[in-house]
């Protein structure tokens, strides 16, 4: 079973600041790593698929990188509407799994 | 546009059963794999189960294996989750979710979720 860890658990950020969230897999998963955003009282939404492919309609300030075991979600120039919890998810092998989440708060 | 509407949630006693349904529209349901993902109150996302586009293969998290059964009716564009021997730790919002492909990949779209509460 592949375990995903995320860091940090929580980040308080000023608007226009750059945010970097990392996701580490317990074994190599190639590029089968995806990122989601969940705002309070909403369902999650897909941001990035296969490590670096932006989903249609996602603002260009969101980007992803990495392969193997180490992945990064970057939010360039954070906006107030980006306050949310961000989750990584692996589809490399069953059982599929999610990371524990990173909560991003706006100062 | 893609719509996923879950139903069937509610309050059930420990040891009881519940069946969730998910009505899908806005895409060719029979061409895509489907997931159930849950979220306990105040907690993170937990993948529960996946079924291939044609129902030929089904996969489960260890935490629900042997108790939950995922199924689909492609003629009705509907996904199901039969939950038996429910425990307090199964209390969560259950999301129906469309896969990006047929055989298991990213979660493309999510429903609004249905709350299951296991309590005496």
> Which pLDDT score, from 0 to 100, does residue B104 have?
86
- CA of A24, closest CA in chain B: separation in Å? 16
Q: Does residue A72 contact residue A83 with C-beta atoms inside 8 Å?
A: no
Indicate whether A62 pLDDT > 90. Answer: yes
Q: Do B107 and A34 touch (CB under 8 A)?
A: yes
Query: Is A62 part of the contact surface with chain B (CB cutoff 8 Å)?
Result: no
Nearest CA in chain A to B112: A43
Which of A43, A85, A95 lies nearest to residue B61, judging by beta carbons?
A: A95
Q: Does A91 touch chain B (CB under 8 A)?
A: yes
- CA gap A13, A82 in Å, rounded: 10
| Residues B40-98: tens digit of each pLDDT | 999 999 999 999 999 999 999 999 999 999 999 999 999 999 999 999 999 999 999 99
b (16+ CB within 10 A) / e for B42-59: eeebbbbbbbbbeeeeeb
- Return phi, psi of residue A82, to 5°: -85, 0
Q: What is the pLDDT of residues A6-41, one digit of tens each?
A: 999 999 999 999 999 999 999 999 999 999 999 999
pLDDT digits (tens, 9 = 90+) for A68-85: 999 999 999 999 999 999
- Maximum separation of any 2 CA atoms in chain A, in Å: 38
**Which tokens go with B36?**
């159930």
């Amino acid at each position: 079973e592949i375990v995903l860890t995320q860091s940090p658990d929580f980040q308080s950020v000023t608007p226009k600041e750059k945010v970097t969230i990392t996701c580490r897999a317990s074994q190599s998963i190639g590029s089968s790593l995806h990122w989601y955003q969940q705002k309070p009282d909403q369902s999650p939404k897909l941001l990035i698929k296969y490590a670096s492919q932006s989903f249609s309609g996602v603002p260009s300030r969101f980007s992803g990188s990495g392969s193997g075991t180490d992945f990064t979600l970057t939010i360039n120039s954070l906006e107030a509407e980006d306050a949310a919890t961000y989750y990584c998810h692996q589809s490399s092998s069953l059982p599929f799994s999610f990371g524990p989440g990173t909560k991003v708060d706006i100062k | 546009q893609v719509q996923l509407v879950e139903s069937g949630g509610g309050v059930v006693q420990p040891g009881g059963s519940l069946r969730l349904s998910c009505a899908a529209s806005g895409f060719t349901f029979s061409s895509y794999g489907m997931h159930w993902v849950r979220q306990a109150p105040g907690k993170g996302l937990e993948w529960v189960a996946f079924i291939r586009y044609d129902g030929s293969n089904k996969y489960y998290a260890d935490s629900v294996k042997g108790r939950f059964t995922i199924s689909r009716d492609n003629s009705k564009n509907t996904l199901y989750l039969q939950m038996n021997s429910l425990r307090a730790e199964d209390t969560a919002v259950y999301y129906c979710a469309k896969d990006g492909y047929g055989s298991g990949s990213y979660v493309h779209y999510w429903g609004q979720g249905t709350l299951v509460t296991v309590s005496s």
